[in-house]
Chain A
């Protein structure tokens, strides 16, 4: 007897749960040859608002976790992704229309990126922060603190490597993120969500909204409880400019669009540096 197919419903990832879009909407995703792949949830502004609430409630605990703990959690994500390597490879090769070999290289690089950032968890503060020379009886030092809730757009082309490259540096420093993955290639993002849900990442630290950035991002750009925007994956310059303008209304930190960056290259500190606030302390001494 033939088995009945077990078909997967792809949903959003908000606050550690997998809800359908509040709007009930979905959209079709095809492979590189225009063949139907799956129906994805089409996130609405209400979903975005729910995600902000989830992220806000997660940020206090995540940002006060020790650097070592955050590093371990990020490394754990790499471990869990490694176990799903074959699934990621087949999804990436279907979505992006690349050979399994090339998809394998992308997935391996994505897993390694988690490890790379995991290592930085207890080190970036020494590099970005400093003790400062001052002319007076003070011990003066600067420490980086997380910005808070970040809304990000992942690159449209690199479905898994680009997504990890955007998310990892945001969360390693203690921020929570609401990320919109590639809208035409979102399937690996949902698989990544399943990895995050089982990797000791506290609920709400990463929230994934599949759908149209042009529809949802303006709401996040204006939302007063979002502290920063990462517009990496925005292709249209006009849209990026509009989002930056909206973000100015509530004085958000913004990292600009970079849709065609080379994701295979070893990253620099700049993405981690983008979403921390440096606090400088003057501590009296020697008096």
Chain B
């Protein structure tokens, strides 16, 4: 009820000065620095890893990001670059469409984990979900969770394809019941991707799940978050919905690529006292 209204109201909060400095550093530490292109290469992934470890090479006080997120075949390269200093997330289960047989999805997952991924971003079968075949979706998540072993499982709902808020709520609940460690809004390949209302809804689902079961599930907002202002709005929403326990990289993430540069420019702005520009951050 009143989801869009509440999200819009929270988005009007103005975060300045010390709070803004804190929010920017927190947001940087929550970024899953992502490259999910058909044209990705080892070289590009290595450059991305260097950026993940030292987002602002001119400032050693800048925190590292939370994780580097890549396709399964690039996990080994990524792990070799970052060691154990940041997490390595792999998209698996026939990302982004999820259209493959169960065996392929499980192999995809197991291979990524074997190569060194400690977080798996899986997509749900939206076709089955929309057809009402919830049991199939549930069992897939359970099976993938098992294939993950110790790796954290993030379940991508692809909210842009679920059409209604009711569906998002239902899918969130289903994923959490099935053993997801994180629920994630989108693949970033479908528009609309993450929006404030849909993330608010998922945060509320997470809050209710924690109230009922005592288990805390994380949330990852991915796709379409490009500016620091947007990121700070998400942080405000997290604080107001689930509380400060979720304001850390273990419980909340941003899936993004261009967001990081904007955060860095804002960080430089707060540090140097003047506006920064794209010439002063690294090119992706």
- A contact set with B: CB distance below 8 Å: 49, 52, 56, 219, 222-226, 246, 249-250
Least Cβ–Cβ distance between A246 and chain B, in angstroms: 8
Q: Is B243 part of the binding interface, using a Cβ–Cβ cutoff of 8 Å?
A: no
* Interface bracket on B: under 10
CB closest chain-A residue, reference B273 = A222
The interface bits of chain B over 164-195 (1 if a CB of A lies within 8 angstroms of the residue's CB, else 0) are: 00000000000000000000000000000000
Residue in A49, A52, A224 whose beta carbon sits within 8 Å of that of B280 in the complex: A224
> How many whole Å from B269's CB to the nearest CB in chain A?
9
Report the minimal beta-carbon distance from B257 to chain A, rounded to whole angstroms: 19
Asked if residues B274 and A49 are in contact (CB atoms below 8 Å), the reply is no
A250 to B275, CA, bound (A): 11
Q: 1/0 per position for B246-284, CB-CB distance to A under 8 A? A: 000000000000000000000010000111111110000
DSSP class of B's interface residues: helix, strand, loop or mixed? loop
Q: How far is the CB of A23 from chain B (nearest CB, A)?
A: 14
B191-228 with Cβ < 8 A to chain A: none
Question: Interface code B28-46, partner A: CB below 8 Å = 1, 0 otherwise?
Answer: 0000000000000000000
- Give the CA-CA distance A249 to B277 in the complex, in Å: 13
The residue of chain B having its C-beta at the shortest distance from the C-beta of A225 within the complex is B277
Distance in angstroms from A254 CB to nearest chain B CB is: 16
* Alpha-carbon distance between A225 and B274 when the two chains are bound, in angstroms: 10
| A246 CA / B277 CA spacing, docked (Å) | 15
Contact, CB under 8 Å: B279 / A222:
no
Residues of A within 8 A of B274 (CB): 219, 222-224, 246, 249
Question: Which of A219, A223, A249 has the most chain B CB atoms inside 10 A of its CB?
Answer: A223
A/B interface sample: 16 pairs, CB < 8 A:
A52-B277, A56-B277, A56-B278, A219-B274, A222-B273, A223-B274, A223-B275, A224-B275, A224-B276, A224-B279, A224-B280, A225-B276, A225-B278, A226-B277, A249-B274, A250-B277
Which residues in B have their C-beta under 8 angstroms from that of A52? 275, 277
**Inside 8 A of A249's CB, which chain B residues have their CB?**
274
- Most chain A CB within 10 A, of B273, B274, B278, B280, is at B274
B268 cross-chain contacts in A, Cβ below 8 A: 224
Residues of B within 8 A of A250 (CB): 277
B-chain residues with CB within 8 Å of residue A56 when the two chains form the complex: 277-278
CB distance from B271 to the nearest CB of A (A): 12
CA distance A222 to B273 in the complex (A): 9
Q: What's the least CB distance linking B279 to chain A, in Å?
A: 6
Instruction: Point out the residues of chain B lying under 8 angstroms from A246, CB to CB.
Output: 274
Q: Which residues of the other chain, B, contact A222 by a CB distance below 8 angstroms? A: 273-275
- Chain B residue nearest to A221 (CB atoms) is B274
Bound-state Cα–Cα, A17 to B276, Å: 24
Residue among A52, A219, A225, A246 with the highest chain B CB neighbour number at 10 A = A225
Given contacts A222-B275, A224-B279, A225-B278, 18 further A-B contacts (CB under 8 A): A49-B275, A52-B275, A52-B277, A56-B277, A56-B278, A222-B273, A222-B274, A223-B274, A223-B275, A223-B277, A224-B268, A224-B274, A224-B275, A224-B280, A225-B275, A225-B276, A226-B277, A249-B274
How far, in whole Å, are A52 and B276 apart by their CA atoms in the complex?
11
Report chain B residues within 8 Å CB of A225. Answer: 275-279
With A and B bound together, what is the CA distance between A224 and B269 in angstroms? 10
CA distance A57 to B275 in the complex (A): 16
Shortest B56–chain A CB gap in Å is 13
Smallest Cβ-Cβ distance to A218: which chain B residue:
B274
CA distance A140 to B280 in the complex (A): 32
Chain B nearest CB, measured from A150 CB (Å): 14
In the complex formed, the residue of A with least CB distance to B278 is: A225
Complex alpha-carbon distance, A246 and B274, angstroms: 10
Chain A residues near B279: list those with CB within 8 A: 224-225
The 6 residue pairs across chains A and B that have the minimum distance between CB atoms: A225-B277, A222-B274, A224-B277, A223-B275, A224-B276, A224-B280
Chain A residues, CB < 8 A from B273: 222
Q: How far is the CB of B191 from chain A (nearest CB, A)?
A: 20
Measured CB to CB, the nearest residue on chain B to A220 is B275
Provide the residues of chain A in CB contact with B275, threshold 8 Å.
49, 52, 219, 222-225
List A contacts of B277 (CB < 8 A). 52, 56, 223-226, 250
Q: Which residue of chain A is the closest to B275 with respect to CB atoms?
A: A223
CB-nearest residue of chain A to B269: A224
Q: How far is the CB of A281 from chain B (nearest CB, A)?
A: 23
Considering only CB atoms, which chain A residue lies closest to B276 in the complex?
A224
Of all chain A residues, the one with the shortest Cβ separation from B281 is A224
A10 and B56 CA atoms in complex are apart in Å by 42
Distance between Cα atoms of A52 and B275 in the complex (Å): 10
Residue of A nearest to B268 (CB): A224
In the docked arrangement, what's the CA distance between A224 and B266, Å?
12
Residues in B neighbouring A224, C-beta threshold 8 A: 268, 274-277, 279-280
B274's nearest neighbour on chain A, judged by CB, is A222
Chain B contacts of A223 at CB under 8 A?
274-275, 277
* Chain A proximity of B281: nearest CB distance (Å): 10
Chain A nearest CB from B193 CB (Å) reads 22
Measured CB to CB, the closest approach of chain B to A18, in angstroms, equals 23
Closest to A246 in B: B274
Tell me, rounded to whole Å, the shortest Cβ–Cβ distance linking B239 to chain A.
Answer: 25
Distance of A119 Cα from B156 Cα, bound (Å)? 58
Q: Which residues of chain B from 15 to 59 have a CB within 8 Å of any chain A CB?
A: none
Distance from B270 Cβ to chain A, minimum over Cβ atoms (Å): 13
